Structure 1
Amino acid sequence: MDTSGDTTGVLDEALERLHVSGPERVGRLTNHAPMVVEALASHGQSGAVHRWLDLYEAKLEEFPSSVESVTDANWPAALGDSRRIADWIAYFTRAIGEGSWRDLLATWWPRLLPGMYGGSTHPVVRVGHAVRALIEGGGSAPRLTELAHGLGYWAARHHPVSGIALLPGVHEMGDVVEALDAVPPVPDPHGGFPARLALVEWLPAWASEVTDPDAARERLAELVRAATHRYATHGHGNETMLVHAATAPSAVLRTLPALPRALWAPSLHAAWLASAAVTAMYAPSEPVPYVPPGRITAEEVLERALAHGDEHVIKLTDTALDIGDDEQALAAALRAIELSEPIS
């Protein structure tokens, strides 16, 4: 299917429309609109962008107020301070205006990568969409501003974790499907993302010895495929949150071409921890049998996802389509449509 990106200007229009809104709503929930409109545009659905946005617009909130300017001198103290979202976005907007967006990303990616759990992994997903838009369509002002918003959101919600033991063993260099199957569910899961994350005690140390950049990219692609496939049989554990086990590593994979190769292996390791942690936090008690999707095309799956309209459904479908001609990835997207409430 057509994945050449938007050449109509619609994506830039939609991003300009969205940049007057904040990256969150109702105190903590994420504004998914920038990610969805980029996904639709990237997959040849520019004509649906504003129609979908009209449905979602009621969920948007005003851009937050500034607290205190973030600078090159004081940024460490501001990292992870969610009150400073506007200050962080202003910082990255200034920085992008002063130099190369790729250089800025290369500087900040390793600083932000350990905190990709913040905002339930949504900030890194938003950055991944912004980077793909820049790679596919060039550095227009709205796309550069979108990267600044994504990085600023990530910096404000930056949330590293500690205390998770990585246990080497049979899965360390083995099949990623087996490694995901070996992820232990958290005991007595309860509460939202931060509460469940605190319950994750250990994870398999899959791919921890990978240092070669090309091998890291290959293993990351394997992780994205496996996590997407897994949704088809395990998505009922939490139809919304388990989407992020696939979309977070997918965002990292999309970003690799814009990063120095030296950052590819650390990116793989961080993506594995995030995907495995989400898997542990929302694991169902039992999988359901895999149901082949039958004779259906990628275009038809995308049309069904768009008709359904849920933001997580569209984003998982976007990830599934990026994998390529893959029956179980399409089945995962159809499973998300089946499990999720449609947009109203």
Structure 2
Amino acid sequence: MTAKDSTGELDEAFERLHATGPERLGRLTNHAPMVVEALAAHGRAGAVHRWLDLYRRKLEDFPAPVARVTNANWREALGDHRRAADWIDHFSRALEDRPWRAVLAEWWPRLLPGLYGASTHPVIRVGHAVRALEQEENAPRRTELAHALGYWAARHRTVEGIVTLPGADSAARTLDAVPPVEGAEGGFPARLAAVRRLPGWAQDVTDPGTARARLTELVRAATHRYATHGHGEETMLVHAATAPNAVLRTLQALPRELWVPSLHAAWTASAAVTAMYAPAEPVAWQTPGTLTAEDVLERALAHGDEHVIKLTDTALDVGDEQALAAALRAAELSEPLV
């Protein structure tokens, strides 16, 4: 259950973060807006600024603008990471003039094919921003959506030419059938370029309601899979679950005709991440025992790593024992934030 932050802590955190850029070192994502929203959503708004104080060494100043993005030239600016400030300005102006759901509905189909950019972080940030706005609409939260959409537009990256292999009858079994990328090295972009074959799943879905159900199934399967396969890459495999969950969170704010393509894009992203970082063998997952969801959340907060907190956020959405085990596994595998 999402908690409404009546303290103002989340909005203060957003205002604090909007003076910072969406990345650092030219390639690493600023996770802070996503984490503070996740903490507030689960009733931990009081911890937001303490966590930010620990994370602030990973923040950089807001980037300089290059040239104004307009309705006439946006296509040539799409995917140009140097234009992040320009894109954020574009969406800030759009959200001043129009309702946020209308802006989101216009841009979602334009941005959806490029959700692979920046390791899927932009669409994840959009999902957090939408959840915050669904709880309460105000200026800091609209600004956060502008930053999230602007980051997505600046890092827009498509994937083409992937051969579709036969899939299975469930998301879990089809993720099991994803062939690992052989000999892939380097970061996310290099590994993504090496993805050539992925099994298809839910390709025959045409009904929006069914698409939502299948997307929910995918989030559960990818979260469960982290409990047994997260050691393949403790950080990057988080996104196999959190990226489709961001899409799932956004569905209710979108026209229903966008739900089916959203499912297909989310599947391809989750399957691609699975292929890029698959371990040689799974391990047995360990039951959380008597630990409750609240206990698991407290452990994630004490650990502090941004990906641990974000996977825990998704695990709490899934809400079952193996999902909680996945969150605990992430904390076990990852370095704490110090």
Does residue 126 of structure 1 match 2:121?
Answer: no
What do the CA deviations read for 1:97-136 (whole angstroms, capped 9, x no partner)? 0011000000000000000000100000000000000001
Aligned equivalent of 2:326, options 329, 332, 337? 332
Secondary structure of the corresponding residue to residue 206 of structure 1: coil
- Cα drift, residue 308 of structure 1: 0.1
Equivalent-residue separation in structure 2 for 1:233 and 1:170 (angstroms) = 21
Aligned equivalent of 1:267, options 255, 262, 269? 262
Equivalent-residue separation in structure 1 for 2:331 and 2:222 (angstroms) = 17
Equivalent-residue separation in structure 1 for 2:53 and 2:170 (angstroms) = 43
User: Which residue identity is paired with 2:310?
Assistant: K
Aligned to 1:51: 50
Does residue 258 of structure 1 match 2:253?
Answer: yes
Equivalent-residue separation in structure 1 for 2:321 and 2:58 (angstroms) = 34
Equivalent-residue separation in structure 2 for 1:148 and 1:47 (angstroms) = 25
User: Which residue identity is paired with 1:111?
Assistant: R
Does residue 342 of structure 1 match 2:336?
Answer: yes
Worse-superposed segment, 312-321 or 5-14: 5-14
- Cα drift, residue 3 of structure 1: 2.3
**Cα pair 2:167 2:200 within 8 Å, conserved:** no
User: Which residue identity is paired with 2:321?
Assistant: E
What runs of 5+ residues in structure 2 fail to find an aligned partner?
Answer: none
Secondary structure of the corresponding residue to residue 63 of structure 2: coil
Equivalent-residue separation in structure 1 for 2:4 and 2:66 (angstroms) = 37
Aligned equivalent of 1:291, options 283, 286, 292? 286
Equivalent-residue separation in structure 2 for 1:119 and 1:189 (angstroms) = 18
Aligned equivalent of 2:214, options 213, 219, 229? 219
Equivalent-residue separation in structure 2 for 1:59 and 1:129 (angstroms) = 20
> Normalised by the size of structure 2, how large is the TM-score?
0.99
Q: How many residues align?
A: 338
- Cα drift, residue 323 of structure 1: 1.3
Equivalent-residue separation in structure 2 for 1:211 and 1:11 (angstroms) = 37
Aligned to 1:153: 151
Aligned to 1:73: 72
Within 5 Å, give how 1:233-252 maps onto structure 2: 233-252=228-247
Equivalent-residue separation in structure 2 for 1:194 and 1:318 (angstroms) = 26
Aligned to 1:105: 104
User: Which residue identity is paired with 1:232?
Assistant: A
User: Which residue identity is paired with 1:109?
Assistant: W
**Cα pair 2:167 2:199 within 8 Å, conserved:** no
- Cα drift, residue 140 of structure 1: 0.6
Secondary structure of the corresponding residue to residue 203 of structure 1: strand
Equivalent-residue separation in structure 2 for 1:129 and 1:170 (angstroms) = 30
Does residue 196 of structure 1 match 2:194?
Answer: no
Equivalent-residue separation in structure 2 for 1:334 and 1:343 (angstroms) = 15
Secondary structure of the corresponding residue to residue 164 of structure 2: strand
Aligned equivalent of 1:206, options 189, 201, 204? 201
Equivalent-residue separation in structure 2 for 1:134 and 1:331 (angstroms) = 30
Aligned to 1:279: 274
Aligned to 2:140: 142
- Cα drift, residue 165 of structure 1: 1.2
Equivalent-residue separation in structure 1 for 2:275 and 2:233 (angstroms) = 11
What do the CA deviations read for 1:197-232 (whole angstroms, capped 9, x no partner)? 011111111001101000000000000000000000
Equivalent-residue separation in structure 1 for 2:2 and 2:195 (angstroms) = 37
User: Which residue identity is paired with 2:324?
Assistant: L
What do the CA deviations read for 1:310-343 (whole angstroms, capped 9, x no partner)? 000000000000112x000000000000000000
CA-based RMSD: 0.7
User: Which residue identity is paired with 2:80?
Assistant: D
User: Which residue identity is paired with 1:158?
Assistant: H
User: Which residue identity is paired with 2:161?
Assistant: G
Equivalent-residue separation in structure 1 for 2:2 and 2:251 (angstroms) = 18
Equivalent-residue separation in structure 1 for 2:318 and 2:171 (angstroms) = 16
- Cα drift, residue 5 of structure 1: 2.6
Equivalent-residue separation in structure 2 for 1:187 and 1:24 (angstroms) = 29
What do the CA deviations read for 1:68-89 (whole angstroms, capped 9, x no partner)? 0000000000000000000000
- Cα drift, residue 268 of structure 1: 0.2
Secondary structure of the corresponding residue to residue 7 of structure 2: coil
- Cα drift, residue 163 of structure 1: 1.2
Equivalent-residue separation in structure 2 for 1:99 and 1:193 (angstroms) = 35
Name the CA shift for 1:123/1:235 in 2 (closer, same or farther; >3 Å): same
Equivalent-residue separation in structure 2 for 1:170 and 1:305 (angstroms) = 34
Does residue 85 of structure 1 match 2:80?
Answer: no
Equivalent-residue separation in structure 2 for 1:26 and 1:40 (angstroms) = 26
What runs of 5+ residues in structure 1 fail to find an aligned partner?
Answer: none
Does residue 308 of structure 1 match 2:297?
Answer: no
